[in-house]
Amino acid sequence: MPPLGLLASVAAFPVGLAPPRVWLDRLAFLVPGATATRWLLMADLVCLVALGTTARWPRVGIPAALGVGFLALNLVSMGVADFYLGLTLFHLGVGVTAVFLRQTRWVGLAVIVLTLLLGVVT
């Protein structure tokens, strides 16, 4: 289906059939509070710097990892209707990305565990 046809089918969707935020309410238990999100952003920064240091040239790798992380945060937050849910997906994405590299596996696991733990607790 071409993109214009998909857009037309979404625009023709009856308004009262399904509220757009129904699926967000089911994920509310995973979204950390505002203070926890600030600390998780610091953990993401540490994780992205650790990812950048694994590059061949760390002086280029660290700013590149931070730039790609900032771009990914903006894209995820724009793609999801709720900003804090986008932040939660970003935290999990950074953690999963770090888990795939052998040198930063423990940092990625720590970010994933912290995100899930703080999401449930706060």
> What length does the chain have?
122
Choose among 71, 76, 87, 100: nearest CA to 39.
87
Q: What is the pLDDT of residues 41-92, one digit of tens each?
A: 999 999 999 999 998 999 999 999 999 999 999 888 888 877 888 888 899 9
Listed ranges 15-19, 21-25, 86-90; the one with the highest mean pLDDT: 86-90
- Whether 95 and 112 have beta carbons less than 8 Å apart is answered as yes
Q: Which of 15-24, 71-80, 83-92, 95-104 has the lowest mean pLDDT?
A: 15-24
Supply the pLDDT for residue 37.
86
More confident residue, 27 or 84: 84
